[in-house]
């Protein structure tokens, strides 16, 4: 029986359940997508070229890109990284580890941390991992949870993103009855018959949570007198510490769907967005707010996402058609956590 440990700032080395203890074995990486360099007991070691970056094989059999990369012409800045793991479960573990460290750093630097959560299947795995392994590692009472997007349904509806996070994570945190295990939770106050009002109210919540008058959210004077677009030009928008995002097969992210109004938004932080293919409203953070964040991470797994990633990284720049292309943090970091199945075949030499 192998035991994995992770270094926790507060408690030192703490054990972590390895995926295979839950019956999930590391899966071999498809050899046709890799160049062999050396050997490990269960798979061929790869060096995958992606633009100007290299992937290297980690001891756990996953691929990690070591150097910052630029994918596609001008598509990502130097502050971007791609982390490829063999399974969705390993992706969730890697994100979890990265997230905890980012939270610890934010709390150490500013005494608090804000996170915008995503809906979707891989983020759900992450929330379950937090509930299983991380409830006692950071001081969650200093962490504010916002929602990057929400469906226009009541909070107890099975499609509610808040409801998903509550079931996967928050109920278990609350069950501990320990204040340090329980984050500050700011769900979208959905009023299904008034999506614009919901969005307006949540914009105000976001401003308050991010403290428009502290140095993490721009200066109070500019917050009250300038428009979002003016503040954008001055890089003075409210700043979320960490934004988690999924990616749809159609290259949507958050609830920024192709050819929808919210993609044009330059005056609001959070809007109601009518999505014709669902004939329904979604509620979503806008590109200016997401791009002002300190760290933005995509969590993307499964073969159905491969074409979308390919077009976001390498396709012609058409944000209207491929909304995730619009994500490029102005002064922050961008991370892509993928499983091998989602990794596009195309690579640039
Ligand atoms: C939502 C989202 C959305 C999601 C993607 C990917 O509420 O549905 O926030 O942007 O992250 O559709 O979802 P999957 O990971 O489930 O494919």
CA-to-CA distance for 121 and 304, rounded, in angstroms? 13
Q: What is the pLDDT of residue 311?
A: 96
Ligand 1 contacts CB of residue 53 (under 6 A): no
Output 317 or 14, whichever has higher pLDDT: 317
Ligand 1 contacts CB of residue 115 (under 6 A): no
Q: What is the pLDDT of residue 200?
A: 98
> Which atom of ligand 1 sits closest to the CA of residue 282?
7
Q: What is the mean pLDDT of residues 314-318?
A: 95
The DSSP symbol for 274 reads E
Q: What is the mean pLDDT of residues 146-151?
A: 98
* pLDDT-wise least confident of 17-21, 247-251, 292-296, 311-315: 17-21
Strand partners, 149: 284
Residues 6+ apart with CB under 8 A from 230: none
* pLDDT-wise least confident of 57-61, 179-183, 244-248: 57-61
User: Using an 8 Å Cβ cutoff, are 190 and 154 in contact?
Assistant: yes
Residue nearest to atom 12 of ligand 1 (CA): 248
- Counting ligand 1 atoms within 8 A of each CB, the residue from 92, 117, 120, 165 with the most, and so the one to mutate, is 120
Ligand 1 contacts CB of residue 344 (under 6 A): no
* pLDDT-wise least confident of 7-21, 61-75, 196-210, 248-262: 7-21
Q: Where are the domains of the chain?
A: 4-342
CA-to-CA distance for 68 and 52, rounded, in angstroms? 8
* Per-residue exposure over 39-76, b if at least 16 CB sit within 10 Å of its own CB, e if not: eeeebbbbebebbebbbebbebbbbbbeebbbbbeebb
Straight-line distance from the first to the last Cα atom of the chain, in angstroms, rounded to the nearest whole number: 41
Q: Given 3.40.50.12660, 3.40.50.720, 1.10.600.10, 3.40.50.1360, which CATH number is that of 4-342?
A: 3.40.50.1360
The confidence band for 229, taking pLDDT boundaries of 50, 70 and 90, is confident
Q: CA 201 from chain center: how many Å?
A: 23
Q: 316 CA distance to ligand 1 centroid (A)?
A: 23
- Counting ligand 1 atoms within 8 A of each CB, the residue from 88, 151, 247, 298 with the most, and so the one to mutate, is 247
Ligand 1 contacts CB of residue 119 (under 6 A): yes
pLDDT averaged over every residue in the chain: 81
Q: 228 CA distance to ligand 1 centroid (A)?
A: 26
DSSP string, 198-230: HHHHHHHHHHHHTTTTSTTS--HHHHHHS-HHH
Q: What is the pLDDT of residue 216?
A: 45
Q: What is the mean pLDDT of residues 164-168?
A: 98
The confidence band for 64, taking pLDDT boundaries of 50, 70 and 90, is low
Q: 147 CA distance to ligand 1 centroid (A)?
A: 12
In tens, the pLDDT along 78-136 reads 689 999 999 999 999 999 999 999 999 999 999 999 999 999 999 999 999 999 999 99
> Which atom of ligand 1 sits closest to the CA of residue 150?
7
The confidence band for 240, taking pLDDT boundaries of 50, 70 and 90, is very high
Q: What is the pLDDT of residue 334?
A: 97
Specify burial of residue 155 (Cβ count, 10 A radius: 0-12, 13-18, 19+): middle
Q: CA 101 from chain center: how many Å?
A: 14
Residues 6+ apart with CB under 8 A from 46: 29, 33, 34, 35, 36, 37, 55, 57, 63
pTM above 0.85, yes or no: no
Q: What is the pLDDT of residue 133?
A: 96
> Which atom of ligand 1 sits closest to the CA of residue 304?
17
The confidence band for 171, taking pLDDT boundaries of 50, 70 and 90, is very high
The confidence band for 234, taking pLDDT boundaries of 50, 70 and 90, is low
Residue nearest to atom 11 of ligand 1 (CA): 246
The confidence band for 52, taking pLDDT boundaries of 50, 70 and 90, is very low
Q: 290 CA distance to ligand 1 centroid (A)?
A: 16
Q: 122 CA distance to ligand 1 centroid (A)?
A: 9
Ligand 1 contacts CB of residue 258 (under 6 A): no
The confidence band for 62, taking pLDDT boundaries of 50, 70 and 90, is low
Q: What is the pLDDT of residue 346?
A: 64
CA-to-CA distance for 59 and 301, rounded, in angstroms? 21
The tokens of 95 are what? 């994100």
């Amino acid at each position: 029986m192998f035991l994995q440990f992770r270094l926790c700032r507060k408690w030192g080395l703490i054990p972590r359940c390895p995926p295979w203890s839950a019956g999930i074995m590391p899966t071999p990486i498809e050899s046709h997508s890799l160049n062999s360099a050396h050997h490990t007991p269960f798979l061929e070691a790869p060096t995958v070229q992606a633009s100007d970056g290299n992937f290297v094989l980690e001891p756990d059999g996953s691929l990690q890109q070591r150097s910052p990369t630029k994918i596609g012409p001008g598509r990502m800045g130097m502050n971007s990284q791609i982390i490829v793991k063999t399974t969705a479960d390993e992706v969730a573990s890697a994100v979890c580890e990265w997230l905890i460290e980012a939270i610890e750093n934010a709390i150490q630097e500013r005494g608090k941390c804000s996170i915008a959560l995503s809906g979707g299947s891989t983020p759900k795995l992450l929330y379950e991992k937090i509930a299983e392994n991380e409830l006692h590692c950071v001081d969650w009472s200093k962490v504010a949870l916002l929602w990057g997007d929400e469906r226009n349904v009541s909070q107890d509806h099975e499609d509610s993103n808040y409801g998903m996070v509550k079931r996967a994570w928050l109920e278990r945190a609350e069950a501990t009855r320990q204040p340090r295990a329980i984050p500050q939770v700011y769900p979208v106050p959905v009023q299904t018959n008034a999506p614009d009002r919901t969005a307006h109210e949540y914009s105000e919540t976001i401003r308050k949570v991010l403290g428009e008058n502290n140095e993490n959210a721009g200066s109070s004077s500019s917050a009250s007198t300038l428009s979002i677009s003016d503040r954008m030009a001055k890089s003075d928008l409210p700043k979320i510490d960490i934004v988690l995002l999924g990616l749809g097969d159609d290259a949507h992210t958050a609830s920024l769907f192709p050819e929808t109004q919210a993609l044009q938004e330059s005056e609001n932080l959070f809007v109601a967005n009518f999505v014709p293919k669902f004939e329904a409203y979604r509620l979503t953070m806008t590109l200016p707010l997401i791009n002002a964040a300190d760290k933005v991470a995509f969590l993307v797994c499964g073969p159905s996402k491969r074409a979308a990633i390919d077009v976001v990284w390498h396709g012609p720049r058409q944000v209207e058609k491929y909304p995730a292309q619009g994500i490029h943090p102005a002064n922050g970091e961008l991370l892509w956590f993928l499983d091998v199945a989602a990794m596009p075949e195309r690579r640039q030499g």
